[in-house]
Amino acid sequence: MDINEIIDRVHHIPESSAGKLVACFSEISLPKGFRMLEAGKVETDIYFIRHGLARAFIPVNGEEITFWLGKEGDAIFSLKSYTDSLPGYETIELMEDSNLYRLKRDALQLLFKEDIEIANWGRRFAEREFQQTEQRLIPFLHTTASERYARLLEESPDLLQRLPLEHLASWLGITPVSLSRIRARMKADDGQG
C-alpha cells in the first residue's frame, strides 16, 4: 500500500500538507521474524506496513498471547513509548518479509505544531486506532470463539494462509485444538448445506 493511500485512509489532508508529511517518512525492508518492538524497551517511532504482516504479543505463563495483528496499511507502534517515552509492554514481530514506512516521532511532533491539517490528521489517526481497539476488544465480551472465527473469515480470510494457526488461535482467544475443531465443524456444516 502506497504511503499516500495510507495517509488518505487515516484522513484526507490538502496536497501541500500531505507532501510535508510524506517527506518525513523513510522506507525500510525487514525480514520475517524481525522484532520491531521488544517488551521492556522504548521505541517512539511509528511504522506503517506497506507490504507484510506483523503480530503483537505478550508472554503469559510461558506462552505468547497474540493480541494484535497488522497487515498492509496498519500502523505499528507502542502507545506507551510514543506518548510517554516509557518501555512498552508488548513485543511486535514481523510474520513475513515486510516493507515499512517509518515516521520519527520528533519529526511528526514538529509538523503538528507547524500545520493544523497534519495536527488534525494526527488526531484522526489516534481516534482511528482507539476505534479499532474497541472493535477488537468488545466482541470478546459477547461473542463465541466460533463467531469470532466467522468474523475473521469474513473480514480477513487471507490471514489463514499468511499466519500459523497457533497465532490465529491465540488472537481469537482459544487453543489451537479448539480452532481446529471450529474449522472442522464449519467445513462439515458447509458440506451439509
The 10s digit of each residue's pLDDT in 91-127 is 999 999 999 999 999 999 999 999 999 999 999 999 9
CB atoms < 10 A from the CB of 5, how many? 12
Question: What is the C-alpha to C-alpha distance for residues 57 and 106, in angstroms, rounded to an integer?
Answer: 26
pLDDT computed for residue 136 by the predictor: 87
pTM value? 0.91
* pLDDT tens figures, 40-86: 999 999 999 999 999 999 999 989 999 999 999 999 999 999 999 99
Question: What is the C-alpha to C-alpha distance for residues 48 and 57, in angstroms, rounded to an integer?
Answer: 18
